[in-house]
């Protein structure tokens, strides 16, 4: 049974927003996309996918599931009313930290640095900071070595952008990453991290409202860590914390995991299975085959893989 899973992050009125450069789906295009899905697909609910994956039922011919990552408030203000208008269910995967402590996730710090700076200026500043902190209790390769290793374009970003993302997301030790991200955030973004966190994420009341209106809520970690890369103790405690913060929104015996950055490994899967998880979503870009694909590692397509952005879905 083929299942297309479309993945969304920011969904907002981009040209009229404070950060028009943020990588998101403009709301006009989102409406067109939903209209396209209505004509060409059968938009299914997560509950249908769960039943089909357990063998209790089948999915319609061209089944499609809508998934929203990271708990952004624009999913509530813009996407949720449109989903209601079309009669579609969205599945929202919300990092526990965003609505329980209102702290800015690293991933969003980096998105906003990228959205407010010119990429070559940013890379220059980043290289300067790498020189500044090198040897001050932190040890890492030369700038030339780092750049040749990590500046590799992918299907979404050019090589400079990937370089900045990799350095700030995974390459440097966590403490230093946070320090450099905060330096760059102060220099380029111009609001406090706290202010941005309060404008960026849904509140628990908003999550509750969506749930009451039939939307599905799932896990996306607590701190939005690369779960497949951190050590076992940190991975377990991140999952425990995310289960505790999302407790009222999920079924502890049948919940769905969406791995931040699509990062997981065998011990992550072992642990979440033990804790009642029944489906895992990755970022591998292709259509899923329910009944054939490993249910803890279902692939997803990006919303940019569908019209009006592109026709990539046909070949994925």
Residues at the interface with Zn ion (CB under 5 A):
69-70, 260
Is the separation of the CB atoms in 99 and 245 below 8 Å?
Answer: yes
**Distance spanning both ends of the chain, measured CA to CA:** 15
Q: Cβ closer to Zn ion: 138 or 226?
A: 226
Name the closest residue to Zn ion (Cβ): 69
What minimum distance in Å lies between the beta carbon of 69 and Zn ion? Answer: 4
Measuring CA to CA, which residue among 131, 6, 139, 116 is closest to residue 63?
6
What minimum distance in Å lies between the beta carbon of 220 and Zn ion? Answer: 6
Q: Cβ closer to Zn ion: 77 or 169?
A: 169
H-helix or E-strand containing 182?
helix 174-188
Q: Cβ closer to Zn ion: 178 or 283?
A: 283
What minimum distance in Å lies between the beta carbon of 224 and Zn ion? Answer: 6
Measuring CA to CA, which residue among 187, 150, 192 is closest to residue 172?
150
What minimum distance in Å lies between the beta carbon of 277 and Zn ion? Answer: 17
Neighbour tally for 199: CB within 10 Å: 10
What minimum distance in Å lies between the beta carbon of 24 and Zn ion? Answer: 13
Q: Cβ closer to Zn ion: 110 or 123?
A: 110
Task: Report the C-alpha gap between 295 and 44 in whole angstroms.
Answer: 17
What minimum distance in Å lies between the beta carbon of 258 and Zn ion? Answer: 7
| Cα atoms in the 13 Å half-sphere on the side-chain side of 153 | 5
At what angle are helices 106-116 and 119-133 packed, to 10 degrees? 130
What minimum distance in Å lies between the beta carbon of 156 and Zn ion? Answer: 14
Q: Cβ closer to Zn ion: 67 or 117?
A: 67
Measuring CA to CA, which residue among 279, 284, 275, 271 is closest to residue 227?
271
Q: Cβ closer to Zn ion: 70 or 238?
A: 70
H-helix or E-strand containing 111?
helix 106-116
Q: Cβ closer to Zn ion: 63 or 243?
A: 243
Measuring CA to CA, which residue among 160, 220, 182, 164 is closest to residue 106?
182
Task: Report the C-alpha gap between 107 and 217 in whole angstroms.
Answer: 20
């Amino acid at each position: 049974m083929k299942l297309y899973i479309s993945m969304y992050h920011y969904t907002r009125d981009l040209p009229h927003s404070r950060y028009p450069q943020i990588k998101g789906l403009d709301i006009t295009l989102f409406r067109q996309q939903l209209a396209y899905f209505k004509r060409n697909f059968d938009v299914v609910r997560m509950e249908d996918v769960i039943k089909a994956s357990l063998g209790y039922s089948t999915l319609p011919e061209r089944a499609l599931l809508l998934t929203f990552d990271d708990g952004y408030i624009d999913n509530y203000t813009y996407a949720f009313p449109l989903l209601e208008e079309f009669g579609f269910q969205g599945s929202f995967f919300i990092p526990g930290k965003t609505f329980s402590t209102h702290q800015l996730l690293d991933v969003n710090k980096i998105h906003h640095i990228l959205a407010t700076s010119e990429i070559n200026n940013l890379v220059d500043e980043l290289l300067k900071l790498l020189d500044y902190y090198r040897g001050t209790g932190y040890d890492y390769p030369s700038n030339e070595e780092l750049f040749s290793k990590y500046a590799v374009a992918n299907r979404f970003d050019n090589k400079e952008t990937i370089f900045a993302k990799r350095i700030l997301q995974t390459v440097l030790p966590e403490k230093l990453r946070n320090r450099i991200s905060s330096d760059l955030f102060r220099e380029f973004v111009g609001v406090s991290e706290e202010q941005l966190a309060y404008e960026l994420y849904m509140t628990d009341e908003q999550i509750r409202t969506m749930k009451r209106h039939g939307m599905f809520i799932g896990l996306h970690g607590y701190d939005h860590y690369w779960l497949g890369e951190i050590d076992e103790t940190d991975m377990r405690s991140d999952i425990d914390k995310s289960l505790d913060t999302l407790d009222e929104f999920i079924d502890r015996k049948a919940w769905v995991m969406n791995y931040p950055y699509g990062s997981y490994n065998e011990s992550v899967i072992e642990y979440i299975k033990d804790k009642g998880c029944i489906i895992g979503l990755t970022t591998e870009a292709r259509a899923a085959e329910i009944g054939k694909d490993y249910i803890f590692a279902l692939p997803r397509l990006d919303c940019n893989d569908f019209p009006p952005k592109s026709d990539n879905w046909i070949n994925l």
